[in-house]
Structure 1
Amino acid sequence: MEGGTTRPVRRARGRSAGPSTRLAPWGWPVLLTVLITAPLLAPGYVVGYDLVFVPDLTLRRDLFGVTTALPRAVPSDVVVALLDELAGGQALNKSVLVAVPLLAGLGVTALWRDLRLGGPLAGAAAVALYVWNPFVAERLRLGAWALLIGYAALPWLVRSALKLRRGDGWAGFLIASALCALTASGGVVGLLVGGLIVLWPGGTKRWPLVGALVLNLPWLVAGLARTTAATTDPASVPAFAARDEGYGGVLPTLLTLGGVWNANVVPGSRGDLVPVVLAFVMLAASVVGVVLWYRRDRIVIALILAAVLSVGIGLVGVLAPSAFATVVDRVPGAGLFRDGQRFLGPLALLEAIGFGAAVAALLKVSPLKWLVGATAALLPIAALPQLIGAGLKVSQYPADWEQARTVIAAGGPSGEFIPWPFESYRAPTWNGRRPVLDPMPRYFDRAAVVPDELIVGGHRLAGEDPRASAVATALRTAVRTGADPTSELLGQGVGWIVVDREAGGPQPRQLIPRLSEVFTGPTVAVYRLDGTPTPQRVAPWVAVFVFTAWAAAVAVLLAAIAGLAGDLHRRRSSL
């Protein structure tokens, strides 16, 4: 009788205290997400710099990496082309913006609960720092959505890697690895963090690392299978090197999670007195918290090593620019690391958990726990108020773009198109003159020769695609000498020209006499070159290798999804 009476009492206490204790921490990431993204959920598209979503991205061979260009958007463009068939590009655009802070915050919440370093108030501080920091703000403004999805998956990856060391969680580990692998830099970070934790002495299951590597094969094989060297302009090293944002040097700027190469996306408060003080207070607290975490569990060393390596990558273009410029000029693929600041995800996660651990220690001795905890959770917001709305705006594509899209799609197999002017970025009036990677190659159904030269700090950096280089050279020669570039364009497979009429500059008819006008609208015009474009064929072995890599990655992902579904079913059955 005594045992039978005490058991219900314990359950009753758990029920009365449980819901608020369990659910409240999960509401904090939702609130942060609303603050960041609510202004962006109005009808329209949020586009800026590399954030480019269109109504319907057509699934084409070049999106898989079977092309002469470097696989900068492999596999993310294929994922977008598949998902926008379900809900449309606009809904997918909004979903991605919401997913970044929400997945990041929920991931830290789940990881914090498993680490047991403190209570929900301290966990809220850790979540706030990981969701609300300069790295997220700058990369959102720069449009690096695929990188940020990988950043959001990082705490989930660490959580599943820790479970993997105990012989469980392989499916979650692979799914988190797949999210990291949406872009090459995110894939590198995922392999680095996951590999260090899983391979750290004491783990019991390591084979999922092979699966994580296979998930990265689409971009890796597409880059290695190019028939031309994937080297990079050495001038891009100083152009993309991390910058001091008023924090006493590049290293302190990186340690406070800033330092992006593009000054135009740096929040205006960076470098002001109050944000500087708050940033260093949080950094100092993070260091203390990491020490406390280390005393409890030595596995934190793996994440410390990942964070140190990420900072080292961020500094290499600053400390050894000449040597690194030589490397990117001679070593294929080394240009991936020229923008070193984008690899700071492991540091951000380490600092966030450390910050939470320090707050947890403070709460143990503080008489005003709620006040101290709430203040700590609000510090990241106070240091960076510009993240509200993310500094982005909603726009609408011009109506005549859809008309032009229909015209081009009905044109038959008569070659690819080039955007005009032949430049990577533009600042259209319909986007409020905000710079954006030219949306035309994604908006229109037909494949395009995409310009990949970049202008940074007034200097033009050479691209890596030989076809784009040939087209750009032919057009510049036409401007300089008046030579007709039609033969060269046809030889590169170009059969169409799509003109941004608001961009200004020389018009196609001034340089290319053999053109037929097909469509003209208020903002866009379409021309067809007179002649037959040379079909651009890729070596069969390239296609075989690339699509084999895709097949292997898809197989691993499906196996992981099936494994996760099986785990969920077993948990429900046990409950």
Structure 2
Amino acid sequence: MTGDRRARAWVAGYCALLALIIVGPLAGSGYLLLRDAVSTPRSFLTDSALGLGAAAPRAVPQDALLAVLSAMIDGGLLVKAILIVALWSAGYGAAVLTREFLAASTPAQLVAATLALWNPFVAERLLQGHWSLLAGYAALPWTALAAVRVRQATQRHRPLAAAKTATRAGTDTRTPIGAPASAAPSDSVDRPARGDVGRAASSWSSGAWAALTAGFAAAGLTPTGSLLAAIIGLALVGRRAFLPAAVLWIATCAPWLTATVLGSGAEPSDPAGVSAFAARAEPWLGTLGSLAGLGGIWNSEAVPVTRTTPLALVGTVLLLGIVALGVRAVWRLGRDGRTLLIIAAVAIVLPALGATSVGLAVGEWLVVHIPGAGLLRDTQKYVALAMPAYALCAAAACRTVSLWWRRYAVDGSEAATDLREPTDQPKGAADAPSRSAAGASAVAVLFIALLILPLADLAWGVGGTMRPAHYPAGWAQVVDRMDAPGDVAVLPAGMFRRFQYSGTAPVLDPAPRILPNDVLQTGELRVRGYAVTGEGNRARTVEDALLRGATPAEIAALGVGWIVVERTTPGPLGDSEKTLTAAELAYQDADLALYRIPGHTPTDIATPAQRWISAAAHLLWAALLVGGLLTAALLPRISPARAARPTR
């Protein structure tokens, strides 16, 4: 047991090391400010944070969580902590999945963890700023493991069967949970006390359900992550537990489901977004090859430099080669292995089809006619579903190649020893186990090197691109001076900014997350030559009025109480100077200016009842997350098989 714990500690420490190597520059002070990632010292529980603003609820319950916790802990520290934990959890979860499904050795677990952490999907989503999506990605192996345990716990007679097959005359033999029951040993054993097995079965079942709850809720930090976990969990949970698991998942979706019903999330999305966010072919790979290699994000600027060189082809061939070596072993696991492999194949093929002319047409029809279908427009996100299967295949490949090593490097020297006496065995035969272990370690080191080297610039903030930013002091002054209600309009027009303090990459305007009042945003994006219209109709009206130089009275009639001018970023200003000249200046410095618009007409999108409903939905999600994590951690993790072992 001590050796097993030591091995687990090594795997956990290795995953922590890889995570820290990836996000190393963020360890210093400052805030993550890169494309879609906007962390701020403090954010506020506005209608937009609850998903009740004019825009679709794409960052729910993420924004509400940060708004609540940043009142106690610096928001930048929170985001960095969540990101580091998510990366560590992705790697360690992949390792645990292979240990439980395949009884993988420590070297094989390290290979699986490396694949889960060091791949183009992680690199590209980091560069795009999708830190919360990576939390959903990290939950996938844990959700898969919990779902299988729930299915086993709900199968009739499974606890006693597991107890018999996992015990062999007082010795501890472990059967992977993903393996078919027929693969387990069937030697007879002394029947244990029924009460012990019953208590273990009850604890096992409760712990499995708690873990599944935690997996769904953790992935549900964003709607997309919630969908990813649902696909994995509901596919593996089994027929008996499918309905309660589905109800449980829907409960963890309460924040964004209620926001979709109560807010503007039910409005159709711009069909132009389907083409703009379709998967992209990377050099020398094509769309299908890019997706199979866990790449292909729509934004060609959010890719590591190595993915723009022939190393993209080399890395993809090596990755798929390692995966291919383990496919047969994972398929032979039975239902669970096959399900994960099928999910991986579908998650690669469907986004590739979605980038064809027919797929684009289908996608455009969906986002126009089905509320909430806009969540599906960034199809490359769903390649994350391939990670659990890929990790299993990588671990199985490590074992397969290790067996080849043993057969030819070790057993080959013992081919004629079966009929000999022990004293007649050739010299060095007693060293076969150590040589076999050395072979497994050598194979693991080789595979890890083949996974890391073609994508070496994932290290240290994806080649130094992810660096902490520091906000000018003027932002704190603007927050303090904004002491009255009223929505906020921001200039220059547009959703993205380029600040000197945030680097060369564009970044979402931080105003909606740093200011205490609701900020009007049009949601319009310009992607790959496409102008994708957002859902903020009132925001567009206000923006147009500012650009044509409307009077403060006209702006006030639209519900605007404040105007913030971000002076150090390029963007259209139009004739807004006419409006600003007639407005009341509340604060200005070299970076920012704040104007008060007196006599504004209150224009609340959400009613008090809607706010209470949304708040209750967020509390339900938080309770399921915390309760699931604590219950899964505190319950004795004793399987019925272990409880059935004879007492010595």
Is 1:412 equivalent to 2:484 in the alignment?
yes
Kindly provide the amino acid, as one letter, of the partner of residue 82 in structure 1. V
Aligned partners of 1:44 and 1:396 also within 8 Å? yes
Q: Say which SS state the counterpart of residue 49 (structure 2) adopts.
A: helix
Give the structure 1 partner of residue 47 of structure 2.
61
Structure 1 segment 442-481 matched on structure 2, within 5 A: 442-476=513-547, 478=548
Aligned partners of 1:289 and 1:358 also within 8 Å? yes
User: 1:227–1:500: structure 2 CA closer, same or farther, 3 Å change rule?
Assistant: closer
Deviates more, 1:177-186 or 1:223-232: 223-232
The alpha-carbon deviation at position 241 of structure 1 amounts to 0.9
Identity of aligned residues (%): 30
Structure 2 CA distance, aligned partners of 1:188 and 1:38? 30
Give the structure 2 partner of residue 296 of structure 1.
333
- Alignment partner for residue 160 of structure 1, among 134, 138, 146? 146
Give the structure 2 partner of residue 99 of structure 1.
85
User: 1:230–1:308: structure 2 CA closer, same or farther, 3 Å change rule?
Assistant: farther
Kindly provide the amino acid, as one letter, of the partner of residue 536 in structure 1. D
Deviations 1:139-198 (A, max 9, x none): 011011111011011111111111111222110111111111111111111111111000
The alpha-carbon deviation at position 548 of structure 1 amounts to 4.6
Structure 2 CA distance, aligned partners of 1:352 and 1:570? 26
Give the structure 2 partner of residue 382 of structure 1.
453
Q: Over aligned residues, Cα RMSD in angstroms? A: 2.4
Give the structure 1 partner of residue 614 of structure 2.
546
Aligned partners of 2:281 and 2:296 also within 8 Å? yes
Is 1:241 equivalent to 2:284 in the alignment?
no
Question: Which consecutive unaligned segments of at least 5 residues does structure 1 have?
Answer: 1-13
Structure 2 CA distance, aligned partners of 1:532 and 1:369? 71
Structure 1 CA distance, aligned partners of 2:328 and 2:403? 17
Question: Which consecutive unaligned segments of at least 5 residues does structure 2 have?
Answer: 154-204, 410-438, 644-648
Structure 2 CA distance, aligned partners of 1:312 and 1:369? 33
User: 1:105–1:562: structure 2 CA closer, same or farther, 3 Å change rule?
Assistant: closer
Deviations 1:187-227 (A, max 9, x none): 1111111110003x5x6676233112210121122112236
Give the structure 1 partner of residue 294 of structure 2.
257
Structure 1 CA distance, aligned partners of 2:364 and 2:320? 31
Give the structure 1 partner of residue 107 of structure 2.
121
Aligned partners of 1:514 and 1:529 also within 8 Å? no
Is 1:185 equivalent to 2:224 in the alignment?
yes
Aligned partners of 2:52 and 2:605 also within 8 Å? no
Structure 1 segment 164-563 matched on structure 2, within 5 A: 164-167=150-153, 168=205, 169-199=208-238, 207-226=244-263, 229-319=266-356, 320-366=359-405, 367=409, 368-389=439-460, 390=462, 391-408=465-482, 411-413=483-485, 415-476=486-547, 478=548, 484=550, 486-504=552-570, 505-506=572-573, 508-539=576-607, 542-543=610-611, 545-557=613-625, 559-561=627-629, 563=631
Aligned partners of 2:23 and 2:466 also within 8 Å? no
Q: Say which SS state the counterpart of residue 33 (structure 2) adopts.
A: coil
Kindly provide the amino acid, as one letter, of the partner of residue 435 in structure 1. P
User: 1:82–1:548: structure 2 CA closer, same or farther, 3 Å change rule?
Assistant: closer
Deviates more, 1:118-127 or 1:368-377: 368-377
Deviates more, 1:20-29 or 1:559-568: 559-568
Deviates more, 1:427-436 or 1:137-146: 427-436
Deviates more, 1:140-149 or 1:364-373: 364-373
Structure 2 CA distance, aligned partners of 1:429 and 1:491? 35
Structure 1 CA distance, aligned partners of 2:129 and 2:265? 28
The alpha-carbon deviation at position 111 of structure 1 amounts to 1.4
User: 1:278–1:138: structure 2 CA closer, same or farther, 3 Å change rule?
Assistant: closer
Structure 1 CA distance, aligned partners of 2:244 and 2:362? 36
The alpha-carbon deviation at position 313 of structure 1 amounts to 4.3
Q: Say which SS state the counterpart of residue 96 (structure 1) adopts.
A: helix
Relative contact order: is structure 1 or structure 2 higher (C-alpha 8 Å, sep ≥ 6)? Answer: 2
Structure 1 CA distance, aligned partners of 2:65 and 2:338? 34
Give the structure 2 partner of residue 37 of structure 1.
23
Kindly provide the amino acid, as one letter, of the partner of residue 528 in structure 2. G
